[in-house]
Structure 1
Amino acid sequence: MRFVLASQSPARLQTLRSAGVEPEVIVSGVDEDNVTAESPGELARLLATLKARAVVAELDDHATVLGCDSVLEIDGVAYGKPGTPEIARERLRAMRGKSGVLHTGHCLFDTNTKQELRELASTTVYFADMTDDEIDAYVGTGEPLVVAGSFTVDGIGGPFVTGIEGDYHNVVGLSLPLVRTMLAQVGIAWPSLWTPVVKRPDYNESEAARYDDSRGGVERAQAAARAVGELLPAGSQRVLELAVGTGIVGAELVALGNLVHGFDLSTAMLQHAKVRLPGHVAAADATRLPVADRRTDAVVAIWLLHLLDDSTPILAEVARILRPGGVFLTTTEKNEATRYAEGRDPNTTRAQDSLTRLVAEAATHGLALDGATTFPGPRRTTGNAPIYPLIRFRRI
């Protein structure tokens, strides 16, 4: 079944993913600023309906489309995304110490049954009495500029929400119990949407020992390093490599004249990396790097993002540590490259390293795509050698 989320909200996408559902995302393009309604709740429901219908109109085959939109109501006034720091600061000062109602409109359109369901979920939210300094600091993070009501409950704004009455997920962006009920009305059981869990490699000692030979060895590492060298800005480079693994790619980057520091979670892999990059590797989670803000010139991630359940935290962390003008180089479409080389059809599910997803998500963290290249992998026993894309983002 094709299940489509008609929303660009990362929070809504993550809410569904955390519940075991991997939707296809299609952004509607609806101009929210020019839509009006009789009440904040009706406005949220109308916007959700317009989003779902706009996406349905673009489909060329059957799908079940979910459109959502959230509006915060305080004293009868509707508040959407503030857009500017000045407006966000003004709204947060007006909200502090008060309560509001977060309305989320839901529209489910099933093209098979030709049914359109429109529902509204409302949750009361209580806000802390924030100080002016706290408001200025929060606005400075940029988070309240792009969310309805200028706050989040699941992000940086969480400590400023003292309580809620109603569905927590509704405040994040969509009501999971309501969506489940709506799907049942069109004959779709919620468990049928669950995505099978893919077991990830744990890279223990035995896996680390045979990793290089099973992945193309030095030949593949040299090809990857040369491609990275093409996209690194000219001049001597200090490179931070995420998921450095055995250090085989990092060592080739050093041979090209770069200074490489590597991080990895696997202590077994790091034992090998310490030999190739002595004194320059350490154990660390790529979502919580021991690096100061805006201090890094270049970050490289080779064959990492396709392994993740959610690549968003990695992109956010990279954006945090990159200085303005710094670059992030990463492989993309890794699994698709292998499928094409073997003559198989493209995968219908959305991988965490898909180009379209990475470009859209990176943009929300101030990372703009500005370069790309490809490099070949080792020839396989069946099919052609896969061609791996490598892309470059620049920190704005």
Structure 2
Amino acid sequence: MSADTGDRRTAADAESEVRGAEPEVRRPRFVLASQSPARLKTLRNAGVEPEVIVSGVDEDNVTAENPGELARLLACLKARAVVAKLDDHATVLGCDSVLEIDGVAYGKPGTPEIARERLRMMRGRSGVLHTGHCLFDTNSKQELRELASTKVFFADLTDDEIDAYVATGEPLVVAGSFTVDGIGGPFVTGIEGDYHNVVGLSLPLLRRMLADVGIPWPSLWQPPHFAYDEAEAAIYDETRGGETRARAAAEAVHRLLPPDTSRVLEVAVGTGLVGAELVAMGNLVHGVDLSPAMLQHARYRLPGHVAAADAARLPVADRRCDAVVAVWLLHLLDDTEGIIAEAARVLRPGGVFITTTEKSDASRYAAGRSPKETRSGDALSHLVARGAEHGLVLDGATTFEGPVRGGPGVPVYPLVSFRKL
């Protein structure tokens, strides 16, 4: 990252000002070192969209003095393994859970036979679910290790219930052979302690750990404007011109790409519709977005090439991209300084920043947003001035047409490119 970040504002800050609120705290790069869907869902439900990097740690060959220490050690190994893969600063969370009954640690059973045997042993009894948490902050070079433990009471399952539960496959891949938030929920009669800890991570504990490394919990929240729900994401494309408009946009972007372009980063990738069209034209496209619902669609169109990230704080090392593309983004923001600065940082010399520009105040008003009293964040004169401060010079321009369902006529969109010196 560039050291000159003190005066930058993120997309979240801009949206706060639109709502009349104070600018939010900058969101740090937060990485979850786990492939657990339950942990990811827990964080998302709490307003946090982490970047997920799987550690690859072999859990079967790790031992410790007791079950609690085993959970804590595994969490530490996962966090450290992911930190070793990073190419830029981040705050990494590693977690691992084990169930303790009579002093014995039970992880994932792996096979139906072991799962069936364990569930029979557990029925009508209680155990302690330990979840180790390891937070590694590369900026402050701090590593925190904590353990949260919750007592869990199990129903007296019948053999038929156990057989049916094992047949679902769920108990084979979770610590202790049960879930409290899934199919196994009815088989848990009660808990003493933090519910979220049983799911996979303790939110109150994580909040305290983040505070210890100087990260306020609210700084991880996503800005509401970008939090499209699943229903909105499902109809997003068809209400905005669908494939016809996306193809027109991609063709225009392609015309402005340098001949030697090999790596394109699309910020605010949305559902990935434009990115997929760029791929069809022979480009390698990676995409980032803040909306989990939109990213669910983008992952189908750009599998393995999208991630959750703020366009004003990209998880990309310096000078790694041939092109950065922002289509229909800057007009949403009052201050585009952070996005311009980040685009310049990640572009190689000769690379280009391509963006739609000059959405009018009339369009903003028609969309239910107040006309701007100051210069719009996508005004060409503003982009030229801010780009020059970061070594970006105006290099090209084109237009494209794109129908919008229910809209009058066929809008024409200006597209400009800035070359990195």
Normalization by structure 1: what TM-score?
A: 0.58
Query: Using the alignment, how far apart are the partners of 1:145 and 1:169 within structure 2?
Result: 20
* CA gap 1:357/1:159 in 2 versus in 1, 3 angstroms: farther
The match for 1:353 among 282, 297, 305 is 297
1:333 aligns with 2:272: yes
Max Rg structure: 2
Query: How do 1:87-236 and structure 2 match up within 5 A?
Result: 87-197=114-224, 198-199=227-228, 214-215=241-242
**Residue 353 of structure 1: CA displacement?**
2.9
Pair 354,127 (structure 1): closer, same or farther in 2 beyond 3 Å: same
1:42 aligned residue? 69
Change in 2 beyond 3 A, CA 1:358/1:70: farther
CA contact (8 A) 1:336 1:347 kept: no
How much does 1:131 deviate?
0.1
Tell me the secondary structure at the aligned position of residue 113 of structure 1.
coil
The AA in structure 2 aligned to 1:17 is R
Contact conserved, 1:352 with 1:358, CA < 8 A, in 2?
A: no
Matches within 5 A, 1:64-75: 64-75=91-102
Superposed displacement of residue 30, structure 1? 0.3
Cα distance change, pair 58–159 in 1 and its aligned pair in 2 (3 A): same
CA 1:126–1:359: 2 relative to 1, 3 Å: farther
Matches within 5 A, 1:17-32: 17-32=44-59
Partner of 1:53: 80
Q: Is the 8 A contact 1:51 1:67 kept in 2?
A: yes
Cα–Cα, structure 1 residues 345 and 219, in superposed 2: closer, same or farther, change >3 Å?
closer
Distance in 2, matches of 1:64 and 1:178, equals 15
Shift of residue 334, structure 1, vs aligned partner? 3.0
Q: Across the two proteins, how many residue pairs are aligned to each other? A: 254
Deviation at 1:213, TM superposition (A): 8.4
Instruction: State how far apart, in whole Å, the 1-side matches of 2:296 and 2:103 are.
Output: 40
- Alignment deviations for residues 91-111 of structure 1 (CA, whole Å, 9 cap, x no partner): 000000000000000000000
| Paired letter, 2:296 | Q
SS at match of 1:177: helix
Deviation per residue, 1:318-371 (Å, 9 max, x gap): xxxxxxxxxxxxxx7336447989xx98425462234389979xxxxxxxxxxx
Gaps of 5+ in 1: 221-305, 308-331, 361-377, 385-396
2:40 to 8, 13, 20: 13
Aligned AA for 1:133?
A: D
Q: CA RMSD in A?
A: 3.5
Q: What amino acid does structure 2 have at the position aligned with 1:75?
A: D
Report the TM-score, using the length of structure 2 for normalisation. Answer: 0.54
Q: Give the letter for the 1:64 counterpart.
A: T
Instruction: Give, in whole Å, the separation in 2 of the partners of 1:110 and 1:357.
Output: 33
Q: What are the equivalent positions in structure 2 for 1:358-377 lying under 5 Å apart?
A: none
Show CA shifts across 1:45-93 (max 9, x none).
0000000000001111100000000000000000000000000000000
Percent identity reads 73
Say if 1:47 and 1:69, in contact at 8 Å, map to a contact too.
yes
Tell me which amino acid in the other structure corresponds to 1:189.
P
Q: Which amino acid is the alignment partner of residue 353 of structure 1?
A: H
- Identify the residue that residue 272 of structure 1 maps to in structure 2: none
Rounded Cα–Cα distance in structure 1 between residues aligned with 2:201 and 2:116:
25
In structure 1, C-alpha distance between the alignment counterparts of 2:49 and 2:278, rounded to whole Å: 20
Q: 1:345 to 1:73 in 2, by over 3 A?
A: closer
- Identify if the C-alpha distance between structure 1 residues 215 and 193 changes in structure 2 by more than 3 Å, giving closer, same or farther: same
CA distance in 1 between counterparts of 2:274 and 2:244 reads: 18
Shift in CA distance, 63/172, structure 1 to aligned 2, threshold 3 Å = same
